[in-house]
Amino acid sequence: MSIRREIPLMLRLALPLVAAEIGWMVMGIVDTIMVGHLPNSAIALGAAALGQVMYHTLAFGIGGILLGLDTVLSQAFGGKRIDDANRSLQHGLVLGAILTVILMSIVALMPFGFSHLHTDPQILALANPFLNALNWGTPALILWLVLRRYLQAFNHPFSIAFTLISANLINVLFNWLFIYGHHWRYLSIPAWGVAGSGWSTMLSRCYQAAVMVAFLVYYQRRHNYGLFQTRWRYESARMRELLRLGAPVGAQIFVEIAIFGAVTAIISTLGALPLAGHQIALDCASFTFMVPMGISTATSVRVGQAIGRGDAAAARAAGWTGILLSSCFMLFASCVFIAIPGTIARGFSPSPAVIAATVPLLFIVAVFQLFDGLQMTATGALRGAGNTSIGLYVHLAAYWAIGLPVGLYFGFRQHLGAAGLWSGLCIGLILAGIALTTIWYRTTAQLPAIITSQSTRPSLANPAAIPS
């Protein structure tokens, strides 16, 4: 009965967040599709794949540190400690600025690392300008990540969905302008190809950040949360708490994304066609992954809010409801990948060779869908409960200690190529899904103790009532 009551409440928060995550992924898929229709499809797709995976591995690994805000903001909101949440947001913005400098510096040096890869020089020639364009959008990306955590913890997910859905329209327009180039009577825009897609993404992220700031101002005025009246003062204890909670999350995201980055780099040595097929399969797997990712975020918020108000039963129901919803969707997605893999691949590229390289990988994607959803949503439930470190250890063991070695064995010793490497990823995801769901099951028995420890922890700010 608790889960039945929780389902509509979860969906009310999760659906806009799922729409936001899908909007985020659609932006990357549109980039891939539009780049894939350039004259040399395989080379263009390979360059976009290399640039996207390498940038996002770092961006979401380093930026993932900010996900520690999910725990403190949702628990503070659930406990009606609004001033506490406002101060955490202020510190999150400072932390975000520091992370921006670090991330941009590392990405600027990545082309030097590419020179040591045995990658097709034609791919590298297109990937480096694309990567440079993405890097200029980093400040906007980090600002959006911070403000998003605050608004979703305060039950304003519509703003996030609207921002990303409308940003897709901006991205399509600039992709059309910059990738292919256009000439009018008084205006001429050169065709920048793959690099044009990167500049389009950069401008779209600037738009996202601007709209999120506008929503933040709107909700502050409407609900009088007092953010702009909260005086700034640096609190080392608060910053340490954000780092304690966020660093394991960032490391976990980096470990998870980096395994796909490593596989992308390895497949890039096999040639343009395997890399193009890999990129399409990765886009498809990432697209379906956005649904449990949105549900996971909602689950984290709902679990955290329940713990903040001292309701162990509601926290338990929220965790299992999120896992149930994501599992149902991923089983449906698995059936779609099995039924029409060729049709899906054809939507990305008309090349028969690229389609042939993609279809075997989509069958592997179908196998691990359920477990990918399990591991993501269980991680969100655990994050809401304050356990942000266990996912890191599970992913290190499942992906790097088991999945990658198995993938290398199948890929090169058994001569299965890209399909062999994806088989290793599949095994790692299955193990991670089972392990993290089991850990959440054990955590549900400890929720009363977690609530007790949370309520007796010294507060960093005085409680304030939630405005109506």
Separation between Cα atoms, residue 2 and residue 329, nearest integer Å: 21
Separation between Cα atoms, residue 381 and residue 307, nearest integer Å: 11
Does residue 466 belong to any structural domain of this protein?
Answer: no
Separation between Cα atoms, residue 442 and residue 436, nearest integer Å: 10
Residue 102's pLDDT is: 95
Q: Which domain holds residue 243?
A: 2-456
Residue 456's pLDDT is: 55
Six token digits for residue 247: 């660093």
Low-confidence ranges of the chain (pLDDT < 70): 1, 115, 117-119, 454-468
Does residue 463 belong to any structural domain of this protein?
Answer: no
CA atoms 364, 368, 370, 372: torsion sign: negative
Residue 1's pLDDT is: 56
Burial class for 394, CB neighbours closer than 10 Å (0-12, 13-18, 19+): buried
Separation between Cα atoms, residue 316 and residue 441, nearest integer Å: 9
Element (H, E) at 183: strand 182-183
Element (H, E) at 182: strand 182-183
Closest CA to 57 of 341, 267, 254: 254
Does residue 464 belong to any structural domain of this protein?
Answer: no
Separation between Cα atoms, residue 56 and residue 200, nearest integer Å: 16
Q: DSSP letter at 187?
A: -
What is the count of structural domains for the chain?
A: 1
Q: DSSP letter at 186?
A: S
Burial class for 183, CB neighbours closer than 10 Å (0-12, 13-18, 19+): exposed
Closest CA to 102 of 63, 130, 68: 63
Does residue 198 belong to any structural domain of this protein?
Answer: yes
Residue 454's pLDDT is: 67
Q: How many CB atoms lie within 10 A of CB 52?
A: 27
Tens digits of residue pLDDT in 262-306: 888 888 788 888 988 998 898 899 889 989 999 999 999 999 999
This prediction's pTM: 0.79
Does residue 462 belong to any structural domain of this protein?
Answer: no
Separation between Cα atoms, residue 176 and residue 173, nearest integer Å: 5
Give counts: helices (H), strands (E), the chain: 17, 2
